[in-house]
């Protein structure tokens, strides 16, 4: 027994993990290093390929330090993070088109769920690039599928929005031409604590709606996912038609 204790202490001192294989498998992490397609100034486009089902059961977010820091700061400032509370705070501050989209998104509240591993990783990655509280920014990700393989694209310019959409869509077109199916558009609406309107609701904006409709037309996009770092909403493509693109 003494020898076993010494062995465990030695592993710990050397920085070796004594976590059981089962617990280690549940740690939320990317499947590999990404393939970088573009890295210029503040912009990056990269992707990961992995087997379908890789992220299932990975619910241990202990290593996602940037996401956890964001969540802790927001929870200190905002007492009620329910969609109903965030909606009530921001609805009157939005323009007519965004209000229409918020009303449509409201019908999906019963299907709102907690953020999953894939979304958490993407937001943690964004937080590693730019502080999510002091400088709210957005990433845009795409999940494509081919047979039982998945390709996950991540793109950001470290701004509150997306630029370079034409370039991004040209890359997606090449994947689609190679028989990849565009399943999901995934992006974030992180809370802006520096603004009277937190903008933490997870319904699509008019800008989002424009992109969703374009990607449905050009690539047959199946669904869109929006996360605020706590919860996520999936908008099926059949609902895109009712979304407003009018500012």
Asked, for residue 18, whether it belongs to a domain, the answer is: no
Residues counted in the chain: 247
pLDDT in tens, 2-35: 444 444 444 444 444 445 555 677 999 999 999 9
pLDDT at 22: 55
Provide the token pair at 158.
């470290």
For tokens 């998104």, name the residue. 105
**Is residue 59 assigned to a domain?**
yes
The pLDDT value given to residue 20: 57
Q: Is residue 85 part of a domain?
A: yes
Give a three-class secondary structure readout of 138-156. CCEEEEEEECCEEEEEEEE
Q: Structural domain tally of the chain?
A: 1
In a domain, 16, yes or no: no
Three-state DSSP at 237 gives helix
Residue with tokens 């943690």: 124
pLDDT of residue 234: 98
Cβ–Cβ < 8 Å for 212, 221: yes
pLDDT in tens, 196-211: 887 778 889 999 999 9
Mean pLDDT confidence for 139-163: 94
Residue 6 within a domain: no
Establish if 2 belongs to a structural domain.
no
Phi first, then psi: give them for residue 197, nearest 5 degrees. -95, 105
Q: Which domain holds residue 196?
A: 24-242
Positive or negative CA dihedral for 58, 118, 226, 134? Answer: positive
pLDDT digits (tens, 9 = 90+) for 110-142: 999 999 999 999 999 999 999 999 888 999 999
Three-state DSSP state, 162: coil
202 neighbors 83 (Cβ within 8 angstroms): yes
Q: Decide if 154 contacts 122 (C-beta within 8 A).
A: yes
pLDDT of residue 6: 43
For residue 200 the two structure tokens come to 């933490």
Rounded Cα distance between 90 and 64, Å, is 28
| Surface-to-core class of residue 193, CB atoms within 10 Å of its CB (0-12 exposed, 13-18 middle, 19+ buried) | middle
- For residue 223, give every residue at least 6 positions away whose Cβ sits within 8 Å of its Cβ, in sequence order, or none: 183, 184, 185, 234, 235, 236, 237
pLDDT, mean of residues 216-222: 98
Are 208 and 187 within 8 A, CB to CB?
A: yes
Examine residue 8 and state whether it is found in any structural domain, yes or no: no
Q: Is residue 126 part of a domain?
A: yes
Taking Cα atoms as reference points, which of 217, 237, 233, 215 lies closest to residue 225? Answer: 233
Specify the pTM. Answer: 0.89
pLDDT of amino acid 5: 45
Beta bridge partners of 27: 60
Q: Write the CA distances from 87 to 72, 203, 224, integer angstroms.
A: 21, 9, 19
Which of these ranges, 89-98, 164-173, 193-202, has the smallest mean pLDDT?
Answer: 193-202
Q: Look at residue 19 in the predicted model and tell me its pLDDT.
A: 52
């Amino acid at each position: 027994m003494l020898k076993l204790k010494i062995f465990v202490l030695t592993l710990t001192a050397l920085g070796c993990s004594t976590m059981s294989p089962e617990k280690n498998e549940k740690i939320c992490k990317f499947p590999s290093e990404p393939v970088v397609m573009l890295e210029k100034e503040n912009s990056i486009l990269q992707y990961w390929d992995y087997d379908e089902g890789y992220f299932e059961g990975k619910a241990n977010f202990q290593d996602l330090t940037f996401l956890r820091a964001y969540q802790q700061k927001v929870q200190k400032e905002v007492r009620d993070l329910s969609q109903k509370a965030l909606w009530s705070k921001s609805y009157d501050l939005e323009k007519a088109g965004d209000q229409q989209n918020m009303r449509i998104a409201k019908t999906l509240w019963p299907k709102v769920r907690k953020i999953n591993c894939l979304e958490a990783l993407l937001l943690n990655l964004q937080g590693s690039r730019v502080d999510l509280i002091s400088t709210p920014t957005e990433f845009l990700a795409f999940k494509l599928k081919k047979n039982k393989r998945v390709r996950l694209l991540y793109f950001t310019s470290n701004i509150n929005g997306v630029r370079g959409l034409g370039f991004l869509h040209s890359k997606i077109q090449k994947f689609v031409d190679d028989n990849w199916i565009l399943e999901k558009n995934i992006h974030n609406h992180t809370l802006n604590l520096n603004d009277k309107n937190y903008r933490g609701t997870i319904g699509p904006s008019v800008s989002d709606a424009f992109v969703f409709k374009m990607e449905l037309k050009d690539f047959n996009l199946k669904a869109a996912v929006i996360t605020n770092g706590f919860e996520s909403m999936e908008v099926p493509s059949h609902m895109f038609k009712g979304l407003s693109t009018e500012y």
